[in-house]
A = this chain, B = another copy of it.
Amino acid sequence: MSMPGISLRQIGFLVALSDELNFSRAAEACNVTQPTLSAGLRELEGTLGVQLAERTRRSVIMTPVGREIAERGRRLLIGAQDIETLAAEQSKPHAGDLTLGAIPTIGPFLLPRALPRIRDAFPNLRLFLREEMTESLLDGLHGGRLDAVVIAQPFEIGNLETAFMFDDGYHLAAPPSQAEVPDGAVTGEVLTGKRLMLLEKGHCLQRHALSAYPGADIRPDESFSATSLSTLIAMVSEGLGITLLPDLSIDAGAARGSQLRLAPLADACPRHVVMAWRKTSARAGLFRDLAALLTQSRDAMRTA
């Protein structure tokens, strides 16, 4: 294993530059001055023997190799940080910073309830929470911006490790006026031929809700799309249509105060809510513990 001629610092410069496409901003991101970054990149180009970025006076354009190397470099930096994290986890288990992402149809209903429990179990953990849609979460995970994410399967997992947390079924939500929705539990039959109001494109709930009854003739109401579950609930209250709401959101009280008719759909295919992280992550143990805590929190909401 011969010694590398390049340094992580220089790789960091390259990655920052490929993100910012601007020497000064990249330098700032690296906590160095612009000349330092400039020299560092020049030296990297020297040792590698290839041009990594085209500098015109006005803009920076990465060369194809530059882009490729920046991408590999990003993975390298993540690996280096994993090593540091691993060491930190070793000396102070379950402490330090953790950036956790969650999809908007789960995060706001689950995490606030779970926070006391988490704080209690891991008092030295500083939790940074983010809500994004699945695709963005997975990007962030692979790019090192996020450490772990809470998402709903089915979805295309890449090179990820997952821990199952709980299944999340659906309630039918209809305006109080809509008498065709009975009180109490109903089955998927009431939905046949109906049009559902859904969240806007990109939310996995959209896709999942439509496949809650595989083969059934359930279609989206193309004329509406909501940006959040609370908007959706408001729209249903206004009598604009019906929708499926995740059980979790209802148990969390999202529909409390509104005049919805809610009926559990016991026979719907539930979503599988999981915690996911990079296979190479240094804190799989923490993530698994965290997943268990979130499962507990969800169970507590059910019985309450």
Contact = CB atoms under 8 A, between A and B. Distances in A.
Contacts of A1: 12, 15-16, 19, 74, 77-78, 144
Interface of A is mostly: helix
Contacts of A19: 1
Interface stretch (A83-91, A187-195, A245-253, A264-272): A83-91
A50 interface: yes
A67 to B, nearest CB: 11
A87 B50 contact: yes
A108 to B, nearest CB: 28
Contact of A76 (B48, B50, B76): B76
Q: Which of A82, A84, A280 gathers most chain B CB within 10 Å?
A: A84
Interface stretch (A3-11, A121-129, A293-301): A3-11
Contacts of A144: 1
A158 to B, nearest CB: 13
A68 interface: yes
A65 B80 contact: no
A4 B84 contact: yes
Contacts of A30: 3
A16 to B, nearest CB: 7
Interface string A34-64: 0000000000000111100000000000000
Contacts of A50: 87, 90-91
Contact of A79 (B9, B12, B79): B79
A53 to B, nearest CB: 13
Interface string A1-33: 111111111011001100100000000001100
Given A1-B19, A69-B86, A72-B82, 9 more contacts: A2-B81, A3-B30, A3-B31, A7-B8, A47-B84, A49-B91, A68-B86, A69-B87, A72-B86
